[in-house]
């Protein structure tokens, strides 16, 4: 499913988030170092990123999701070259040194192609390969793809989203994208699906989707969910980003209990423990 490698989804897996943006919401760009030569801009400390990935693998991550473009509303847009400069060295380092599947969080055809050559096994695209050339780029690789539902674009998506029935709309969208992928030559064994929590949805939409998540299993493909530290958790527990772990774990457990195969999280060790408790409960004796 994922490039040269097979991802075993017989038990749920943890995807660890590795942001390599200078303005990332959750880690404040702690991986960034000033270029130090007086040149403008930002360069990623590959070494720091690799060390952080190493800890996530030791903590139980099966996938490391490397992202160089912030999808936070209002975030600065990133040129393709900037995105390449940020993510490719990090992907190369992780693929070379760690026994883990590397995922690239991107919508850009060039980044998809270069990431595959650098050793990434999965494309995680919040735009579900809708950008010009992205579908064709992914098809020429052997990578897995995660197709996520998003209404609109990050800058505008939270402006009063309205759905007739959110689950039906998300399901129909994902099914259409799966059909497009298959037509482009991406076989179903390479595809996983994501309802896109927080992307063009109100709080009520997000909780409807979480409650009804099991219905997306009808499509017959593995489900990935990203709930970690999001506003839908923060709004309910009434805490800032740093205080959202317990709420995020509850949401991850609810998703996995409804059949989610992959959970995308910041807190790998804690989430791995939570999933182990689910697995122990489901083990027949």
- Residues between 201 and 260 with contacts to ligand YH5, criterion CB under 6 A: 224, 226, 229-231, 241
Which of 13, 86, 177, 264 lies at the binding interface for ligand YH5 (CB under 6 A)? 264
Assigned token pair, 173:
């969208």
- Could you give the angle at which helices 166-184 and 203-211 cross, rounded to 10 degrees? 70
Q: Which is nearer to ligand YH5, 40 or 128 (CB)?
A: 128
Q: How far is the CB of 281 from ligand YH5 (least distance, A)?
A: 25
- Residues between 16 and 45 with contacts to ligand YH5, criterion CB under 6 A: 25-26
Cβ(31)–Cβ(19) below 8 Å: yes
Q: How many residues bind ligand YH5 (CB under 6 A)?
A: 19
- Residues between 136 and 195 with contacts to ligand YH5, criterion CB under 6 A: 146, 148, 194
Cβ(277)–Cβ(266) below 8 Å: no
- Distance (Å, whole) CA 26 – CA 268: 14
H/E segment holding residue 268: helix 268-282
The DSSP letter of residue 214 is: G
How many residues appear in the chain? Answer: 285
What residues are labeled active site? 230, 264
Q: Which is nearer to ligand YH5, 22 or 198 (CB)?
A: 198
Residues whose CB falls within 8 Å of the CB of residue 8, separated by 6 or more in sequence, listed in order: none
Which of 46, 87, 197, 272 lies at the binding interface for ligand YH5 (CB under 6 A)? 197
Residues lying near ligand YH5 in the complex (CB under 6 A) are found at 25-26, 71, 105, 124, 126, 146, 148, 194, 196-198, 224, 226, 229-231, 241, 264
């Amino acid at each position: 499913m994922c490039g040269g490698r097979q991802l075993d989804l017989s038990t749920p897996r943890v995807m660890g988030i590795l942001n390599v943006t200078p303005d990332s919401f959750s880690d404040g760009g702690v991986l960034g170092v000033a270029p130090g030569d007086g040149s403008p801009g930002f360069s990623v400390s590959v070494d720091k990123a690799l060390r952080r990935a190493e800890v996530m693998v030791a903590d139980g991550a099966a996938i490391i999701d490397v992202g160089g473009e912030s999808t936070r509303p209002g975030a600065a847009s990133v040129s393709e070259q900037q995105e390449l400069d940020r993510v490719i060295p990090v992907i190369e380092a992780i693929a070379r040194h760690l026994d883990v599947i590397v995922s690239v969080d991107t919508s850009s055809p060039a980044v998809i192609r270069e990431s595959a050559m650098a050793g990434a096994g999965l494309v995680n695209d919040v735009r579900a390969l809708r950008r010009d050339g992205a579908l064709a780029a992914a098809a020429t690789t052997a990578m897995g793809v995660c197709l996520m539902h998003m209404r609109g674009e990050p800058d505008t998506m939270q402006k009063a989203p309205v759905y007739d029935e959110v689950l039906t709309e998300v399901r129909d969208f994902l099914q259409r994208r799966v059909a497009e992928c298959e037509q482009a030559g991406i076989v179903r064994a390479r595809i996983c699906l994501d309802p896109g929590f927080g992307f063009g949805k109100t709080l009520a939409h997000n909780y409807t989707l979480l409650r009804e998540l099991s219905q997306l299993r009808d499509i017959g493909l593995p489900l990935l969910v990203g709930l970690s530290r999001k506003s839908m958790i923060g709004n309910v527990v009434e805490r800032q980003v740093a205080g959202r772990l317990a709420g995020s774990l509850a949401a991850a457990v609810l998703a996995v209990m409804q059949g989610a195969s992959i959970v995308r999280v910041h807190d790998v060790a804690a989430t791995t423990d939570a999933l182990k408790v689910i697995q122990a409960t489901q083990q027949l004796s």
